[in-house]
Chains A and B, each alone.
Chain A
Amino acid sequence: MNMLKMLTLTEARLLLREPLAFFWGVAFPMVLLTVMGLSASSIDGVSLVAIYEPIVIAFISVAFGVQGIPVQIAGYRQGRILRRLATTPAGPARVIGAQLIVSLGVILIATIGVLAVGRLGFGVPLPRQPLGFALVVVLSAAAMVAIGLLIGALAPTARSAGAAATVLFFPLMYFAGLWTPQMSASAKHIGQFTPLGAATQALGDAMNGGWPHPAAFAVLGVCTVVCGGLAARFFRWE
């Protein structure tokens, strides 16, 4: 337990020393929401800032799960840090566990930050179905982290891990609605079967007080189990 605690503290400290990762994953979502809020426009009577809040929250889990984790894991493998740890009582799996804890923690903190900006800056009400909302946040973070682990398992270098994550970023965030919050009916239909399309719709439902559709939980759960399982199956420590 002490080992995991020290590894987690170390990983948290190292993350704080990466200003770019911090800007992209924590500050940028709040800035983006602020820009939407200041534009003061609305679609079909719903303010843009309220529409974007779930999208921006989905973005956070992509930034840390899909983009952050694989680059770190591949880098640790490339620098033979995982192998070095394999010769100590800590073992290599614990440091991956520490990264997951830190990533989930920072995703939750950044999500609370975005909710605070929306509420305090622009009067967007807090989620009316808080339990459902929290469940979807945690599940979508888990799904994105699982995708990140899978990339990290397969990519030979930090560079290729980064490239794969960037390629995945666009379709994931497209169906979350980052560029087109008002999607055509067919795009929306396809989107609800993608993890972040399902997540943003479920987050939106929970904000408005509804319990998220079970299909959203199913999509996110399947993504987590399948990607996490494949990552465990194909993981290379060196």
Chain B
Amino acid sequence: MTIHAGSAAIEVERLSKRYGHTLAVDDVSFTVAEGEVFGLLGRNGAGKSTTVDCLAGLRAPDQGRIRVAGLEPRRDRRELRQLLGVQLQESQLQDKLTVAEAMRLYASFYRRPADIDQLLAMLDLTEKRNTRYRRLSGGQKQRLSIALALIGRPRIAILDELTTGLDPVARRDSWQLIDDIRNSGVTIMLITHLMTEAERLCDRVAIMRDGRIVALGTPAALGRPTLEDAFVALTDRRVS
């Protein structure tokens, strides 16, 4: 299967997901083009993570249609896992596993894994290859988590809360890294609540509130005077 430039990497049509009485995702539609960096923004509880779970095939939607790289995430889960790299919020590794061991383990899951040394160099982890996970700094753990999301040479990468907990220097390094990843042809979906990050990295963003998309467009078009002002205006109950 070939995907042509400009075609959709991710298509979401009228997605809804309910937990008990709360509608976590309510009639959400958006499209991410091949090669695009797409930001999903919103406050905690806005429905971002549930949307990601549905895209990754971890949860079945109640309604709506999803295509990721042309696949239906639940039905085509096996194939999708080869094509989609996911960095999950707050997911850890075994304390006593070293960086290189984790990379080799995850590489064994994929049909045509990336070169481990190259990926470690790209993420500035070469010197830490024999360090156990527990002994890594927050930024190093985060970079390893990104490396593991990329080890299967995914066509699409979903990065959830990429820079949460990182210091400003480490955050800027990760931004550079996102540029590098997109330049290697990977479509990226970024979940964040940092507006500067979205402004700097994303071609387009969708802002979610109470399970719905309340704004969608380029950061420049949405952000008047800044994206952060627009975000607050759209998502703060006291303002609207």
The docked-state distance in angstroms from the alpha carbon of A17 to that of B101 is 13
Given contacts A80-B91, A80-B92, A89-B109, contact A6 B84 (CB under 8 A): no
Given contacts A6-B105, A6-B108, A7-B105, contact A81 B91 (CB under 8 A): yes
The docked-state distance in angstroms from the alpha carbon of A173 to that of B120 is 48
B81 contacts A89, C-beta separation under 8 Å: yes
The docked-state distance in angstroms from the alpha carbon of A103 to that of B91 is 25
CB of A88 within 8 Å of the partner chain: yes
The docked-state distance in angstroms from the alpha carbon of A189 to that of B86 is 55
Q: Is the interface of B mostly helix, strand, loop or mixed?
A: loop
CB of A187 within 8 Å of the partner chain: no
CB of B78 within 8 Å of the partner chain: yes
A81 contacts B94, C-beta separation under 8 Å: yes
CB of A39 within 8 Å of the partner chain: no
The docked-state distance in angstroms from the alpha carbon of A18 to that of B132 is 13
CB of A180 within 8 Å of the partner chain: no
Chain B interface size band reads: 20 to 34
The docked-state distance in angstroms from the alpha carbon of A84 to that of B106 is 11
Given contacts A80-B91, A81-B92, contact A6 B81 (CB under 8 A): no
Shortest distance between the CB of B192 and any CB in chain A (Å): 19
Which of chain A's residues has its CB closest to B92's CB?
Answer: A79
Which of chain A's residues has its CB closest to B52's CB?
Answer: A87
Shortest distance between the CB of A62 and any CB in chain B (Å): 24
**Which residue in B92, B101, B106 is a CB contact (below 8 Å) of A88?**
B106
Q: Which B residues lie within 8 Å of A17 (CB)?
A: 96
Give residues of chain A (1-33) contacting chain B, Cβ–Cβ below 8 Å.
Answer: 2-3, 5-7, 10, 13-14, 17-18
The docked-state distance in angstroms from the alpha carbon of A87 to that of B68 is 13
CB of B233 within 8 Å of the partner chain: no
A10 contacts B110, C-beta separation under 8 Å: no
The docked-state distance in angstroms from the alpha carbon of A81 to that of B81 is 16
Shortest distance between the CB of A186 and any CB in chain B (Å): 46
A88 contacts B109, C-beta separation under 8 Å: yes
Query: What is B's interface to A at a CB cutoff of 8 Å?
Result: 56-58, 78, 81-82, 84, 86, 88, 90-94, 96-97, 101, 104-106, 108-110, 148, 152
Query: What is A's interface to B at a CB cutoff of 8 Å?
Result: 2-3, 5-7, 10, 13-14, 17-18, 76, 79-81, 83-84, 86-91
- Across chains A and B, which 4 residue pairs bring their CB atoms closest together, nearest first? A80-B91, A79-B92, A6-B108, A87-B86
New A-B contacts (18) at CB < 8 Å, excluding given A84-B93, A89-B82: A2-B108, A6-B108, A10-B105, A13-B101, A17-B96, A79-B91, A79-B94, A80-B90, A80-B92, A83-B88, A87-B56, A87-B57, A87-B81, A87-B84, A87-B88, A88-B110, A89-B109, A89-B110
